[in-house]
Amino acid sequence: NWMENIRDWCISRQLWWGHRIPVWYCPCGEMIVAKVDPTVCPKCGGTELEQDPDVLDTWFSSGLWPHSTLGWPDQTEDLKRFYPGTVMETAYDIIFFWVARMIVMGMEDMNEVPFRTVYLHGLIRDDKGEKMSKTKGNVIDPLKVIDQYGTDALRFAVTFGTSPGNDSKLGQTKLEAARNFANKLWNASRFVIMNLGEAKELTPEAELPLEDRWIISRMNRVTADVTRLMEEFQFGEAQRVLQDFIWGEFCDWYIELAKVRLRDEASVSPRPVLVRVLSSILRLLHPYMPFITEELWSYLRPYLPESLRETDIIVAPYPAADKTCFDEQAESVMGSLVEIVRSLRNLRAEHNVEISRYIQANIYAGDMASVLGNYLGAVETLSRARPVNILPGHYSGASTATEVVLVLNGIEVVVPMSTMVDLEVEAKRVKAEISELEIQIERLSTRLSDEQFLAKAPQAVVDKERIKLEGYIEKVSRLKSA
């Protein structure tokens, strides 16, 4: 409809800079429109011609962008190669002003539309969802943000959570999260590179342990997902998938397992797989964080395959997913291992177990007991639990005052309460917490039954108080049943 229902354009907004309007006026009243500056009036023959003082509106010159930047009107090699383009990316609020003008100008000057696909991004709003404007004083100065958080952190924050045509918010919380991710990537890469030893191409062993097969499988699945999402212009979702993998799988789990093997000098070194996965991560992440990935790539290059060793990351081949590396069995077993460790960590946090204290655990893993038994040391190290017993069969009991039973996916984890807390001290703590919660419940119940409060308070405040009350009641119920 933008091109079928096209309207007249604004010729000029009396701007200071731009293309002069190609119209000249003669004292006889004749108006002359010409491609070349005229010297004589075609009507009266007069020579006192005066060009219109205004310049064409900005979008007249902007509309020339697809071909004028490639050397037009000269028939340059760049013009032949890059016109028409494939994708045009812009904001939805300038479809008529810019996109439509580029199409019209392209058809007029090149006899061909300048692009076939237009990707529309949303507007970047402040953290409250308000449009940024100097009048409101909520404009974010990118130079100040770069000084505080870094260039790549700004890029990452701006693109995170975006979807085609939808606006997104940008504030301090998002910027801090992006900076923290950049730091996480830097520290993880630094750990890998510092533990690679002598610079040489590292070849993985033929028989890889579970965690190696798992991370390679996950890396290839993520590569396939990110590639598909990028091709579908789902850049924000591709970014989320990539971040979740880097932080939640590579850093939190694979590197931690690799540390155990590096410390114990395992017979099969994790170094080749660390290089292989980090190489793919940096290339996948490069469009989002070009500077930090290029820097880290320069440190990793001595360990890369010869085909990549002399290549800057900006021109390195984009990773391609290898479906033959998909390993459902490794992903399933490793998923169980991660679930066990995560459940034990959460249990420690819930009971405020001191970092120096080791808890005990019996893990009933059924048919997976023999496989998981090979990773007993990793479970103990990552969850700070010792001893841990991995047993066949299943446990049918429920949690009691003396033990906690965690029911996972086909696995039961049983932890004696006495290994986490002093039961007498814990009983007193729980009793005191229940008493405090009951005071808060009584206070909120009284407030929410006050008709004056309900009539005067904003609905959002009332809803917040109700949610808080429900949370307190649920927590008391949970503490009493523990």
Q: What is the pLDDT of residue 482?
A: 63
Could you give the C-alpha distances from 110 to 56, 181, 473, in angstroms and in order? 21, 45, 71
2-124 against 423-481: fold identical: no
pLDDT over 90 (residue 417): no
* pLDDT band, residue 343 (cuts 50/70/90): very high
Distance CA 383, CA 316 (A): 39
Q: Quick: pLDDT tens for 269-303.
A: 899 999 999 999 999 999 999 999 999 999 999 99
Q: Where are the domains of the chain?
A: 2-124, 153-326, 329-419, 423-481
Amino acid code (one letter) for 165: G
The pair of three-digit structure tokens given for residue 472, joined into one six-digit string: 């307190």
Q: pLDDT digit string (tens) for 234-252?
A: 999 999 999 999 999 999 9
Looking at residue 199, what is its pLDDT? 58
Contact 325, 220 (CB under 8 A): yes
Alpha helices (H) in 318-450, listed in sequence order: 328-350, 369-373, 376-383, 423-448
* Helix/strand/coil for 362: strand
| pLDDT value for 339 | 94
Distance CA 232, CA 157 (A): 21
| Chain segment 117-143, per-residue pLDDT in tens | 999 988 888 888 888 888 888 888 999
pLDDT for the residue numbered 481: 75
- Of 173-177, 198-202, 280-284, the least confident: 198-202
Sheet arrangement for strand 385-391? 385-391, 359-364, 412-416, 403-407
Q: How many residues does the chain have?
A: 482
User: Does residue 200 surpass a pLDDT of 80?
Assistant: no
| pTM of the full structure | 0.78
CA geometry: angle at 245 spanning 161 and 304, to 5°?
120
Residue 352 CA to residue 340 CA, distance in Å, equals 18
Can you tell me whether residue 252 is helix, strand or coil? helix
Percentage of the chain with pLDDT > 70? 98
Q: What is the mean pLDDT of residues 305-313?
A: 91
In whole angstroms, give the CA distance from residue 255 to residue 184.
12
- Helix count (H) and strand count (E) of the chain? 19, 11
Mention every residue, 6+ apart, whose C-beta is less than 8 A from residue 127: 169, 170, 171, 172, 173, 174
Which CATH code for domain 2-124? 3.40.50.620
Residue 155: name the closest of 290, 281, 283, 312 by CA. 290
Return the CATH architecture of domain 153-326: Orthogonal Bundle (1.10)
> What percent of the chain lies above the pLDDT cut of 90?
68
Q: What is the pLDDT of residue 135?
A: 85
Average model confidence (pLDDT) across the chain: 91
How far is the first Cα of the chain from the last one, in angstroms, to the nearest whole number? 64
Give how far Cα 45 sits from Cα of 3, 42, 267, 477, Å.
41, 6, 96, 99
Q: Domain 423-481 classified CATH 3.90.1150.10? A: no
pLDDT of residue 246: 98
- Please state the rounded mean pLDDT for residues 373-390: 91
Each residue's pLDDT tens digit, 70-88: 999 999 999 999 999 999 9
